Amino acid sequence: MAEKKKDRNLSIDPAALEVLAKTEGGNIETAYQRYLNMQPQCQYGNTGICCTICIQGPCRITKKASKGICGAAPYTIVARNLLRHVLGGTSCHSDHGLHITMVMKEIVDGHGGDYSITDSAKLKRVADRLGIPIEGRTDQEILKDVINLAMEEFSRLDKDKYSVWLEKTVVPERVEKAMDCNIMPNSIHKTVTESMAQTHMGMDADPVNLVFQSLKTALCDYIGMHIATDLSDILFGTPTPVVSEANMGVLGEKTVNIALHGHNPILSEMVVRAAREMQDEAKAAGAEGIKCMGICCTGNEVLMRQGVPVLTNFLSQELAIMTGAVDAMVVDVQCIMPGVQTVAECFHTKIITTIPNVKIPSSYYVDFDETRALEKAREIVSIAIEAFKERDPSKVSIPQVKNKVVAGFSLEALTEVLAAVNPDNPIKVITDAVDSGELAGICLFAGCNNLKVTHDENHTVIARELAKNNVLLVATGCAAGSFAKLGLLNSDAVEKYAGEGLKAFLNRLNEANKDKLQEKMPLIFHMGSCVDNTRAYDLVTALAKQWQMDTPKVPFAASAPEAMSEKAISIGSWVVTLGMPVHVGVIPPIPGSALIDGIALQIAQDVYGGYFMWEEDPMEASKKLLAALQERVWKLKVHRMAKERYETEAISKTW
């Protein structure tokens, strides 16, 4: 198996392959080599049947040892491990959301420093949806209520009060479902702690109970993410369509190149601002200027709002440094490989960590103090300028690969594009296209990269297959990063890959928007960073409302073709809970229990309407996603025909 994996391509990204070729036989170790060194991987851990929760263990399920020492069955072990994974993801998004909330609490208290409300209209939309009065009130008054409610979403202890953010952003049927299943969270922090306790030795042994708690925790992930996105928009502006470019060719030969990596816009927005102000300092250091560029979701955040180009996505983060042209890699939170520091030490690149609980030994640490945000951002840019002076031209080798990117499709931006076709009811442009058969449904691409499959391949193969079959595509996170790098986020890709229906649909949007937008529609609509998956789910909610039905009937699917992180597991879990089929292109550590596997793949559908599909082969995955969408489209059609017949023929209501 290891041999087979050694033979296969490591990436389909030409820039990544070019950099990797440089190190063939060389001595710079990257994740691609470490993955091969790690083969064969432990099959107990891989399938979820290794338990290290108490120190009588580790317990691994074998024929001889069919239960853990405490008597835990495989289903208990798998379910506990699953819940801990969901907890990891949920906690990250919670911390991200809380970080932004507390920065905005400073604005409320009059100490916002360099931060202020950028998008007053979004503030009002968010407040209004949450049931907070907006008429005749100042932004500051409204923000105070929004932030107080956000803080409650994290800290509420009462067992009879439930998350308002969840209740107010999904269709009522989903809230009822969550209440019926006893998985409606009171608050994020309480649920996280209760879930962690539930997985302790000698706590819950009931796999179904543990799975329900995983879903409750995953709903907290949704809440934390939604808060993060809503508040980021208020703080930095709701994204609107923007043109940029992507892949390592964006590196400037003669510019100070700053890679922004991580997930949180709180820091990166300030660095982008500081970099724009400090072009002269860079010129004084012999550079032609300063260029910021993004990696992972910090990259998506600044692409969406500032048009900052995409340098690369998760898996190739080390490779970017190996171009020799990155002067500083500024990181905040999540998905930062510790390996970047080791690679950086072979070059002049400075790795700058910025968050107290995310450090890397030997990296340069700038304590990013939000009360002095711009000052700190300038300090970071200065380090990059200094590093530029140390750049060794003989080590610079920039792959000349880049693609045009049209991004910035927040739901609001997408709605405005649709409104050019139907101003009274923009979302109906999509539902009509599905009802007429022009579109075969909608699919969200999300998630990471994972070396268990070829870098970027699953993303692109599945997306192209679905486009060919007239599925409307939206994307976030490193999936969007993959599409950006490989040229799928522009209108050329529409010509190359879209089926006739999708092409007609996009052309209708182009036609209606031709006076407003400089660029034609891309093949895939980039909705933001992975924390912005709630934007995509808000689209589901809007579609469900338009069709006047619960979300499990909406012909929408999600795919995480190269899922890697616990966040992907938590996001996938709430997407399923909220009614969607979810394809995962890497098998998570679940099949060690046939019961838990069956719940994920099948039983979940009976309860929530959503379900998982594990499929590593991209062509098979495409078929499964299309089948899932076809089933829903077909049911929609039957439902519509029945309704029409009922209305025209006046059949008894009990029919």
Residues, the chain: 655
- Closest distance of CB 139 from a second copy, Å: 22
Q: Which residues of 221-244 are buried (b: 16+ CB within 10 A; e: fewer)?
A: bbbbbbbbbbbbbbbbbbbebbbb
- Closest distance of CB 412 from a second copy, Å: 29
Q: Whose Cβ is closer to a second copy: residue 224's or residue 487's? A: 224
- Compute CA 232 distance to the chain's CA centroid, rounded to the nearest angstrom: 15
Q: Whose Cβ is closer to a second copy: residue 260's or residue 471's? A: 260
- Closest distance of CB 421 from a second copy, Å: 41
- Closest distance of CB 206 from a second copy, Å: 4
CA neighbor of 592 nearest in space, from 54, 59, 3: 59
Tokens representing 550?
């619960």
Counting beta carbons within 10 angstroms of the beta carbon of residue 422, is it exposed (0 to 12), middle (13 to 18) or buried (19 or more)? Answer: middle
- Closest distance of CB 562 from a second copy, Å: 10
Phi and psi at residue 431, in whole multiples of 5°? -65, -35
- Closest distance of CB 370 from a second copy, Å: 11
* Cα 149 to Cα 101: distance, rounded to the nearest angstrom: 10
Tokens representing 581?
């089929």
- Closest distance of CB 292 from a second copy, Å: 20
* Three-point CA angle 533, 418, 437, nearest 5°: 90
Tokens representing 251?
């590196």
Q: Whose Cβ is closer to a second copy: residue 237's or residue 477's? A: 477
Amino acid present at 193: T
- Closest distance of CB 191 from a second copy, Å: 9
Q: Whose Cβ is closer to a second copy: residue 87's or residue 626's? A: 87
**Which residues, at least 6 apart from 82, have a Cβ–Cβ distance to it below 8 Å?**
48, 210, 211, 214, 569, 588, 589, 590, 596
Amino acid present at 529: S
Q: Whose Cβ is closer to a second copy: residue 129's or residue 452's? A: 452
- Closest distance of CB 11 from a second copy, Å: 14
- Closest distance of CB 355 from a second copy, Å: 9
- Closest distance of CB 149 from a second copy, Å: 13
Helices (H) and strands (E) in the chain, counts: 28, 16
Q: Whose Cβ is closer to a second copy: residue 480's or residue 595's? A: 595
Q: Whose Cβ is closer to a second copy: residue 209's or residue 630's? A: 209
Instruction: Give the H or E element holding residue 259.
Output: strand 256-262
- Closest distance of CB 447 from a second copy, Å: 10
- Closest distance of CB 376 from a second copy, Å: 17
Q: Whose Cβ is closer to a second copy: residue 435's or residue 617's? A: 617
Phi and psi at residue 480, in whole multiples of 5°? -60, -35
Phi and psi at residue 89, in whole multiples of 5°? -65, -45
Q: Whose Cβ is closer to a second copy: residue 131's or residue 338's? A: 338
Q: Whose Cβ is closer to a second copy: residue 187's or residue 232's? A: 187
Amino acid present at 148: N
* Cα 643 to Cα 630: distance, rounded to the nearest angstrom: 20
User: Would you call 367 helix, strand, or coil by DSSP?
Assistant: coil
Q: Whose Cβ is closer to a second copy: residue 199's or residue 470's? A: 199
β-bridge pairing 364-365 and 350-353? parallel
Contacts for 413-416 with beta carbons within 8 Å, 24 or more apart?
Answer: 413/238, 413/239, 413/240, 413/241, 414/474, 414/525, 414/527, 414/539, 415/542, 416/240
Q: Whose Cβ is closer to a second copy: residue 261's or residue 378's? A: 261
Distance, first Cα to last Cα, the chain: 56
CA neighbor of 122 nearest in space, from 9, 212, 238, 228: 238
Q: Whose Cβ is closer to a second copy: residue 140's or residue 362's? A: 362
